[in-house]
Amino acid sequence: MNEKTKTRWFDNPDILTTVIILLSASIVLLSQAMAVNSDVTGFLMLRNLFNHNFTYIAAIMYFALLKTKIGRRNFNIITVFYIILYVLNTVASIFTIFQSFTVPSILSFVLNFLILGYMCYTFLPDTRLWKDLNLEKLPFDEIKNDWYFYIICIVSLVLLLVNLIYSVDFNGVVTTLLDMCFIVLFGRYIYLYKNYVDSDKLKKIENKTKKQIEENIKKNKKEDKNDKESSEKDDK
């Protein structure tokens, strides 16, 4: 059994991103179907599409692009644009708190802020934006990658429980459950990418160290040879 077969689906980035795309599309279609069944006007359906479903539409576009050669080649640029969209989503959650100061709105903002910080910490260090904004001065490294993921899962679970209490119909329950699934899967994607970056940096450091050791060994051998030759000449 090869290594790929042993890898669980949620540890396989390709499968995980496909699941996220399908889940996001399902959430968008389901929410629109619910709106139709509720006899909502066309304007309200359109507003719902760009308000509640904004995150999921952006996720579909982002992960679909990453599955193409152009997307993989321009990964940093596409990711920066996606982070900017998430900034807008986080700002929108702040306005939601002002409009409706409730426990779900506060938890939603906290969760968006955590995910935004996790994205910046994971995706931006190799970009010019990271240096221009002096983000390296922020204490991102104080928390391990595993704990970033666990904290997001815990907060999303608390938000799920609170939303279930506030939900008064079956549609709200289904939407809340799917929202949590999306958050956990997206957090898992960030977690896997951070692990990949850290392991890649570790390999580069190990290769560099190995190369330096080999060069030092060659240098020492050459010096020993020269010393031996010089000592032989002195003896003569």
Which residues are CB-contacts of 100 (< 8 A; sequence separation ≥ 6)? Answer: none
> Contacts by 176-179 with C-beta closer than 8 Å and gap 24+?
178/23, 178/26, 178/27, 178/30, 179/27
Confidence (pLDDT) at 38: 59
Judged by DSSP in three states, 137 sits in helix
Give a yes or no: residue 13 inside a domain.
Answer: yes
Give a yes or no: residue 101 inside a domain.
Answer: yes
Give a yes or no: residue 177 inside a domain.
Answer: yes
Give a yes or no: residue 41 inside a domain.
Answer: yes
Give the pLDDT confidence of 155-170 residue by residue, as tens digits: 999 988 888 887 767 7
Tell me how far apart the alpha carbons of residues 18 and 217 are, in angstroms, rounded to a whole number.
48
Give the pLDDT confidence of 74-90 residue by residue, as tens digits: 888 898 899 988 888 88
Give the pLDDT confidence of 87-113 residue by residue, as tens digits: 888 888 888 888 878 888 888 889 999
Give a yes or no: residue 200 inside a domain.
Answer: yes
H helix or E strand, kind and range, residue 114: helix 103-123
Task: Report yes or no: 116 and 83 within 8 Å, Cβ to Cβ.
Answer: yes
Give a yes or no: residue 3 inside a domain.
Answer: no
Give a yes or no: residue 135 inside a domain.
Answer: yes
Q: What is the dihedral of CA 23, 24, 25, 28, to 10 degrees?
A: 120
Supply the range of the domain harboring residue 97: 9-235
Task: State the total domains in the chain.
Answer: 1
Residue 187 banded pLDDT, cuts 50, 70, 90: very high
Give a yes or no: residue 145 inside a domain.
Answer: yes
Task: Report yes or no: 114 and 121 within 8 Å, Cβ to Cβ.
Answer: no
